[in-house]
Structures are given as C-alpha cells and as structure tokens.
Amino acid sequence: MSRCERCDSREANIHFDLEGTSLYICHDCYSEIMAEEMDVQLEEVAQSFSVKDFQGVERTFHVERRIHPNGIYMEAAESIELGYKFAVDGELDCNQQDLLQKLMKKARKGTGLQQVEAKVYPDGRAYNTMIHDQITGFLEYDQTSEDTPLVIIDGKPYTWEEVGKMLTTYEGFQIKIKTYEPSDDVE
C-alpha cells in the first residue's frame, strides 16, 4: 500500500474525492477532514489499550476513530493479525472519552468469556467444542479460500470446516445464523 498523500506518515487506505481533488489518505486524515467539514471537535483519545482475556493473557488493541456524516465510529483491533476486533459508534456530538470507555468495556467483556475449548478424544485426536452452545465472532477474509471467510472466535481464526466440526455435536438441532453491524452489541 502507498503512504497517505496528506500526512505521508501512515498507510493510505481511503480514496477521498473532495470538490474535484482526489487523494489517497489514512483514516486519521480522513477523520480530520470530516471533522472540519462537519464542525466536530476531535478530542484526544488513547490510541491503544490493553485488557486481559479469559486466560489472563494481556491483549493489546489499536484504536481507530472515524468521523462520518452520521456519527463517530471507533474500532479496537488487536495488534496481531486475525485477532479480536470490537467497535462502537456514537453521535457526532457525543463525548468521545465516553465512547472510548464503551469500546474498552466491550473489549473486556468480549475477551473475558471463553467460547471454544480444545479437548482430546480417548484415542488422542484433538477437537474443538463450543462451551455454551453458541459462538459469537466476526467474519474475516481468508487468503487461502476464495469461497469462504474465516470466523474469528476467542481471538483465533477458524475455517468454516472447523466451525462445522464443532457443530457436529448438534446434529438434529435447529440453528440460527444472524449477522450484526460491528458496532452492535451481540447478546
């Protein structure tokens, strides 16, 4: 990827076209432009935070804030590839520190509950099982499969085949698959 044409310090990941001017910019520069356009004051917020997961392992998250015409969106992505990811959103005039606290609380809650457990059959074969008869995660692009995404659960990637194997215990049961926006609370 190329560098941001505005700040030249971060990766450009947005193509921005404003009044005939075309730029490839980073998320931070995009938010600065949008905040100026919509007269939103950008508050200083932490760029990262850490929480301990269900095993007591410290997970570090990078915080990204985006200003959009309909509100402020904050995302916390774990600093490893294909790890945990959480998001929240708020109104343009919301308290951005409160929004960050909401994001941190969501990350603590999401990392605090183990959903998949690794076990071993009596013959020595390993398998994964759902602990609470349900799993919550998010979908991520799988570079090894052009047809199916990865499912990130407990901060680890699982293929659809691996998720399917977890579900074999439930043959004959009903299943409900429902998708949510990244900033929605899933209960």
Widest Cα–Cα separation across the chain: 67
CA distance linking residue 4 with residue 1, whole number of Å: 9
Over residues 127-159, the pLDDT tens digits come to: 999 999 999 999 999 999 888 999 999 999 999
pLDDT for 119 equals 94
| Mean pLDDT in residue range 22-48 | 90
pLDDT for 18 equals 73
Give percent above pLDDT 70 in the chain: 99
Over residues 101-114, the pLDDT tens digits come to: 999 999 999 999 99
Over residues 37-53, the pLDDT tens digits come to: 889 999 999 999 999 99
Whole-number mean pLDDT of the chain? 92
- 141, 103 Cβ separation under 8 angstroms: no
Residue 184, pLDDT above cutoff 90: yes
